[in-house]
Amino acid sequence: MAAAGKFNRSNPAVKRILQEVKEMQSNPSPDFMALPLEEDIFEWQFAILGPRDSEFEGGIYHGRIQLPSDYPFKPPSFMLLTPSGRFEIQKKICLSISNYHPEHWQPSWSVRTALVALIAFMPTNPGGALGSLDYKKEDRRALAIKSRETPPKFGSPERQSVIDEIHEQMLSKAPPVPQLLTIGSEEETNKTAPDTSGEHAVKAAEGVNTSGSSSGSANDTDLPKPDSESEVAENIARAQADVIPRDSGPRVVTAPQNPVVTIQKPKHDRLLTLAAFGLTLAIMALVIKKFFKINGLAGYIEGKF
């Protein structure tokens, strides 16, 4: 980033953010794109592709992430800018990865982790959560088609420039939106097998029941989410080469040292025993000689010997 020099690199939050920017650029994802503003790296613009095999497939959904000053020890806030029928626009949304639930956030998570989780939350049951919507599938599919036409208008010219850049790149790799004609057959299939509509939610949030009533689903959606997000964070951590060797290195080094130590211990014991025995004999000789000297027998002993 050209503006990286404007910020205090010794600040832990700035250092972490710049590290994530570098990681994003070196390992881009086909499912999302995110960039911080040049003037404020704590504010990110992003776009995600709608999850496959859902009414959001093919859609491009823009949003804004605001990182706190003590990131990554506190969670960011999220705001969607593109109408989707799942989240309200230009309003902070309530997710277990957002600032509404700091008790669930883990410092090992990152912007990448949060965006992967956000995509997984798209097809889940909103359950009346703050900032959530529950549109019909055909309405969401129509919004997915419309989301590809033009990027949303938001904020300053700098923000808009970043939004336009992200939209252009995401549009080049976005799959086409499935035709609306398939919605009727999908709904009929869901009526005969209601549990299949929640398969993506189960995969995304580990056991969230999307076919149940909305009155009890609000708490259900909050509890399993940290588990699924932890798995995402672990997968990202495994991909970082500087983390795994630090843990595995000492284990490899210490394993062959144990037999060496056990073999050398008897040798040291024998040497110490012999040294102690020799020292004991020397002390005894000095004591005997002094005894004879005190009793006037030293000359007699020396004459004899």
The span from the CA of 74 to the CA of 68, in Å, is 7
Cis before residue 266, ω within 30 degrees of 0?
A: no
Phi and psi at residue 291, to the nearest 5°:
-60, -45
Helix axis angle, 12-26 relative to 111-121, nearest 10°?
Answer: 60
Helix axis angle, 137-147 relative to 182-192, nearest 10°?
Answer: 140
DSSP summary character for residue 89: B
The span from the CA of 233 to the CA of 5, in Å, is 29
Query: How many Cα neighbours within 13 Å face the side chain of 109?
Result: 26
24, 47, 80, 94: the catalytic one is 94
State whether the Cα torsion 63-68-72-76 is positive or negative. negative
In the residue annotation, 94 being an active-site residue is answered as yes
How many Å separate Cα 207 from the centre of its chain? 21
| 57 within 8 A of 144, measured Cβ to Cβ | yes
The span from the CA of 157 to the CA of 162, in Å, is 9
Task: Record the tokens describing residue 216, joined without a space.
Answer: 């009890």
Which residues are marked as active site?
94
